């Protein structure tokens, strides 16, 4: 594919004011993997990819998912978090000690992720260095871009998923170094959650993150029983967030905290104006009876939010579905928890899933000049309605999201490379 | 198609104890539009439709949807019920005074409903007799089976959707009589809801239902603002349900009450052991910020439940999606409203969507001998997982429901007729 080309179609993107901007029947100019401009006149002397009638939007971002759990996404949904971890999740993750199983399962995962609306991701692998590197290689080759974490667990876990502390540290360093030539996929420091890591392990992981300038991902305040467990395990910490902070794992580098369903007032303060991105996982939080994250309140507090499938707490790889699901559960939060917190709007979740989450990766998430050319082309032919012609582009996108999320895409580009 | 044939595949159905029964690699024998038996040996001398590896389940039932609203399903989701009715729903329904618009729009609706998992339905049309009859004819021809109601509205509605009371009554009778030769689709008495009907209209509709033995459908306790409005309009009624009962519209014949998100204790008593089916619409109730219906409590009280898309409060025609959505919101109900109400399980929602809802239509909803042969054949080839071979049929069905709800079906039969 050439380094300079143009996509033609109906173009939408989120601006900084969280509005959806619409450019009907326009041309998106891509040069050297970056967005150059959007124009209504066809640029001279270049290749045009004509997606007439299709919607062209920025790639969507999944800031928290567990790659090894994809094989049972959509199963065992009659359980809560801790029971679900022990009965199904940990045994499945244990299988990734076997590299041939990992190859088979990760092939399925990567193939389906390529088909999905996700262009950028941050994924948990397992504790196994080789299998985690294999996953990274497969993702690197796929053309998708994002982070993969070799998971760290040396405490309170089943024997077959418990690492020796020193091995966990050295294996993490080895994993990072073996990825030094990767271009699309980078390592991320990944203590599973507070219960699964000793103090020494947390401290060493914090040092690795700081010395190598690597981002961090973990879990925070997902489920009531989990929070109680953390309180018992680290009684000296003021709260769950403080347990990360005390060990150097709180936003020194860019950090993802998944869920944050039950933040305390003190935790709000720690999240504000920080380097932390909250990965909001509405489907997972419903599936595991965790609750509804207070996204409106966090947004209004200046906390950065991204959307996440949290496969396999979530059963779908579709971030488009998470957009509408985030709107839905925000309405139930408004109804049952706090009627001063108005529901999220469609334009807000579009903004969150693209521009806001994109900033985690640099100049990513919209179509400003110079941003990475991460692009989805949506096939609208499967939408059947008599009023289609009357609709604005934003309305068409909303219609697509509610009716067609997860459907096959027309095309997908990451950093200007067409991968689908 | 012959009157005697056999489907081969992996067969699942709900028994009376709300369990999922599994018959692997078996034969479902259909004769004269009825289920004859399930057998593990191929019956002699008949046609076999081989769906090897597919899941064969009873047709799913959508007990509440608004056919004219399908055109904007998935749009305008940033509003609550009463505002949504006035700004979008009523104007769209007004268009069905024009029969050519109705033909265009209902063609799209019927075509998509045929493609969906729904075999039986109960639908609201609009106030317009001719357009309602047109919808009924199109559904009759499609091979789907169910009820269509010409909607009654003579009060508190926009001018263009307000009928003269006497005309509303006579037009309802005319609609019923013009459908007398229909075989698959039958009329149902359909006062829109208490606010839109005068007392005289409600009383006359009750009489028509009773004298002609016709079922009734309406709305109950959907949204807090709607319930307050009903209280103002009929202060003499003890509650919303009582307003129907006082006018002869409470379960003399089989009756569908959509939503029932906020039943009072007295209303629970009225619903128990009655002829009423509650049409639970989890997506719509989230989308319109209505709330979460207390399905566990109703089930345990012996109240009959069905699932419903409530298009276009719901954005999808997939009842399979409503199954998983019902499980999801029941977990949030458990978390936020009443922790003694354990979440619904997958086998329970399968039972509700098939066997329990099916009883509204007679001997429908499972594969007992003599039941109507309403059958879906699910194509499992789109499910990608390394553990598929290890799974039970119930687990495969759960996986299909969470990952593939709304996907194209392999085949669909209603009363033994193959319609897809």
Residues of B in contact with A398 (CB under 8 A): 74-75, 77
Residues of B in contact with A91 (CB under 8 A): none
Indicate yes or no: CB of B385 within 8 angstroms of CB of A72. Answer: yes
Residues of A in contact with B324 (CB under 8 A): 77, 315
Give A273's pLDDT tier (boundaries 50, 70, 90): confident
Q: What is the pTM of this model?
A: 0.98
Tens-place pLDDT, residues A193-230: 999 999 999 999 999 999 999 999 999 999 999 999 99
Q: What is the mean pLDDT of residues A267-278?
A: 95
Indicate yes or no: CB of B391 within 8 angstroms of CB of A75. Answer: yes
* Closest Cα in chain B, distance from residue A385 (Å): 5
Residues of A in contact with B328 (CB under 8 A): 283, 286-287
Residues of A in contact with B287 (CB under 8 A): 328, 331
Residues of B in contact with A387 (CB under 8 A): 71-72, 92
Nearest CB partner across the interface for B289, out of A287, A334, A403: A334
Domain ranges of chain B: 4-58+366-418, 60-361
Is 0.90 exceeded by the ipTM? yes
- B60-361 falls under which CATH superfamily? Metal-dependent hydrolases (3.20.20.140)
Indicate which of A96, A284, A289 best probes the interface with B, i.e. most B CBs within 10 Å of its own CB: A289
Using a 10 angstrom Cβ sphere, with 0-12 exposed, 13-18 middle and 19 or more buried, the burial of residue A41 is exposed
State how far the alpha carbon of A358 is from the alpha carbons of A196, A351, A354, A372, in Å. Answer: 29, 10, 6, 10
**What's the confidence (pLDDT) of residue B2?**
66
**Structural contact between residues B5 and B23, judged by C-beta atoms closer than 8 angstroms:** no
Tens-place pLDDT, residues A342-355: 999 999 999 999 99
Indicate yes or no: CB of B315 within 8 angstroms of CB of A290. Answer: no
Of all residues in chain A, the percent with pLDDT exceeding 70 is 100
- Spell A250-275 as b/e; 16+ CB within 10 A means b: bbebbbbbbbbbbbeeebbebbeebe
* Closest Cα in chain A, distance from residue B304 (Å): 22
Residues of B in contact with A335 (CB under 8 A): 289-291
Size of interface A-B (CB pairs under 8 A): 132
**What's the confidence (pLDDT) of residue B157?**
96
* Closest Cα in chain A, distance from residue B198 (Å): 31
The matching CATH number, chosen from 3.30.1050.10, 2.60.120.590, 3.40.50.300, 2.30.40.10, for B4-58+366-418 is 2.30.40.10
Closest chain A residue by Cα to residue B402: A74
Indicate yes or no: CB of B402 within 8 angstroms of CB of A75. Answer: yes
**What's the confidence (pLDDT) of residue A232?**
96
Indicate yes or no: CB of B399 within 8 angstroms of CB of A78. Answer: no
Nearest CB partner across the interface for A332, out of B75, B111, B286: B286
Residues 6+ apart with CB under 8 A from A195: A155, A156, A226, A229, A230, A233
Residue ranges for chain B with pLDDT beneath 70: 1-2
Tens-place pLDDT, residues A128-174: 999 999 999 999 999 999 999 999 999 999 999 999 999 999 999 99
Q: Do B60-361 and B4-58+366-418 have the same topology in CATH? A: no
Indicate yes or no: CB of B105 within 8 angstroms of CB of A386. Answer: yes
**Structural contact between residues B176 and B204, judged by C-beta atoms closer than 8 angstroms:** no
* Closest Cα in chain B, distance from residue A403 (Å): 6
Give A1's pLDDT tier (boundaries 50, 70, 90): low
**What's the confidence (pLDDT) of residue A2?**
66
Q: Which residues pair with A50 in a beta bridge?
A: A8
């Amino acid at each position: 594919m050439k380094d300079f080309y143009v996509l033609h179609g109906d173009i939408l993107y989120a601006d900084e004011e969280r509005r959806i901007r619409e450019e009907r029947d326009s041309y998106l100019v891509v040069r050297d993997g970056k967005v150059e401009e959007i124009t209504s006149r066809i640029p001279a002397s270049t290749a045009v990819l004509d997606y007439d009638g299709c919607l062209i939007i920025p790639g969507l971002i999944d800031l928290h998912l567990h790659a090894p759990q994809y094989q049972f996404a959509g199963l065992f949904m009659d359980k809560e978090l801790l029971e679900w971890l022990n009965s199904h999740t940990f045994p499945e993750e244990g299988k990734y000690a076997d590299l041939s199983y990992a190859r088979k399962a990760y092939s399925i995962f990567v193939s389906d992720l390529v088909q999905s609306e996700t262009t950028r991701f941050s994924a948990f692998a397992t504790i196994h260095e080789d299998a985690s590197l294999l996953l990274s290689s497969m993702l690197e080759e796929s053309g998708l871009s994002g982070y993969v974490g070799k998971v760290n667990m040396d405490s309170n876990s089943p024997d077959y998923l418990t690492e020796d502390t020193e091995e966990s540290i050295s294996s993490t360093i080895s994993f990072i170094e073996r990825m030094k030539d990767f271009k699309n996929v980078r390592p991320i420091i990944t203590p599973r959650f507070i219960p699964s890591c000793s103090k020494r392990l947390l401290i060493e992981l914090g040092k690795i993150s700081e010395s190598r300038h690597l981002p961090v991902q973990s879990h925070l305040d997902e489920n009531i029983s989990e929070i109680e467990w953390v309180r018992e395990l680290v009684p000296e910490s003021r709260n769950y967030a403080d347990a990360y902070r005390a060990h150097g794992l709180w936003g020194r580098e860019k950090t993802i905290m998944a869920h944050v369903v039950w933040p305390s007032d003190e935790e709000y303060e720690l999240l504000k104006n920080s380097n932390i991105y909250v990965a909001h996982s509405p489907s997972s939080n419903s599936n595991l009876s965790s609750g509804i994250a207070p996204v409106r309140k966090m947004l209004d507090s200046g906390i950065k939010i991204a959307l996440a499938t949290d496969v396999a707490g979530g059963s779908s790889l579709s971030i488009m579905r998470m957009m509408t699901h985030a709107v839905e559960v925000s309405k139930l939060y408004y109804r049952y928890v706090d009627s001063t917190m108005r529901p999220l709007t469609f334009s807000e979740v579009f903004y969150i899933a693209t521009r806001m989450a994109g900033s985690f990766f640099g100049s990513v998430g919209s179509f400003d000049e110079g941003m990475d050319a991460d692009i989805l082309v949506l096939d609208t032919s499967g939408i059947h309605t008599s009023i289609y012609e009357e609709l604005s582009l934003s309305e068409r996108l909303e219609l697509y999201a509610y009716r067609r999320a997860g459907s096959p895409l027309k095309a997908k580009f990451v950093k200007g490379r067409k991968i689908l």
